[in-house]
Amino acid sequence: FMKGENIQTADQELTQVLNQLWQLDTNRLTPGTDYIISLQGRAGYVAQGSNYARDKARAPLFTYVNEEKLKSIETYAHFINLLDNYEMSTGVSEKVTLDELQENRLFIDSIVETDVMKCAHKYLVRKGQSPSDTKQFKKQLYDIWFRLYHRDRSGGEDSCGFEHVFVGETKFDQEIMGLHNWVQFYLQEKHGHVDYKGYKARDNKDTPDEDDHVLNLQFSWKGLVKPVGGSFIGVSPEFEVALFTIIFLMSNSKMTSVVVKVDEYMLELVVYRHGRSIGTSFPKLLSSNHRDL
């Protein structure tokens, strides 16, 4: 993990911290009440680079989401404002307006106020990875998630961690990258841009439940297929930012992958670094304990 540090011990500690964050995530929505999903069929194999997937789910993934509730929670409200600020194609420079810079800041201000983020901040300060001063910490978060960088060598500053992970982007109009956030998935699905193709599972014993908070999904977005994408479902934006920020800051590798058990889910959490920023980050569901019965 860190230079020569035993990954098992790091995992024990990380597991503990991430479960603390999970317990503090009071803005997580309740499945069956605040939202309803419909998993339908198990998705099939899609060859890398192919944009054809058999549709094993005729209906949308999200049957219902209480948008009033979403918009009444400050962190979600600011988060939703950010989703329309990005140019989907890599290689196309992002034009960031003053309003958008302000929206980025408001989002960071709002998440830093939550117990989830306060807990993450304390932990990072204790590990010597973050400044204890809140203002400096916000700047650090800004650099990790919102600083623009070149993802496509030929183009301008076309991407940032937030765009990739939460909003999604396309590469050469041939492949979907990112889009691991459930709120964005729901909104894109509602607008007819996303077509959910089914859940991904290793075998029939591995069938997910409709109240699971982590899923592996197959879907198409504006005609391009994502063969499998891991997503948290129903969790708050601050929870995802906190979790991935911790993993990003606790390692200097280009790619970090840790296996942790959060609540009842065995997850592999993956973070790619792009200089001082996040390239991408996502969860992969390995198993959920109620299925091992």
How does 91-115 read in b/e, with b if 16+ C-beta sit within 10 Å? beebebeeebeebbeebbebbbebe
Asked about 226 being catalytic, the answer comes back as yes
Element of type H or E holding 111: helix 98-112
Q: CB under 8 Å to 13, separation ≥6 — which residues?
A: none
| CB neighbourhood size of 223 (10 A) | 11
What is the separation, in whole angstroms, between the first and last Cα of the chain? 32
Quickly tell me which residue has 């060598």 as its tokens. Answer: 153
Q: Rounded to whole angstroms, how far apart are CA atoms 48 and 45? A: 9
Please tell me which residue in 180, 197, 200, 213 is annotated as part of the active site.
180
Please tell me which residue in 164, 200, 213, 274 is annotated as part of the active site.
164
Asked about 150 being catalytic, the answer comes back as no
Q: How is residue 149 annotated by DSSP?
A: B
Instruction: At 257, list the tokens.
Output: 């992958």
Please tell me which residue in 121, 213, 226, 274 is annotated as part of the active site.
226
How does 120-159 read in b/e, with b if 16+ C-beta sit within 10 Å? bbebbeeeeebeeeeeebbebbbebbbbbebbeeeeeebb
Asked about 197 being catalytic, the answer comes back as no
Q: Which residues are catalytic?
A: 164, 180, 226
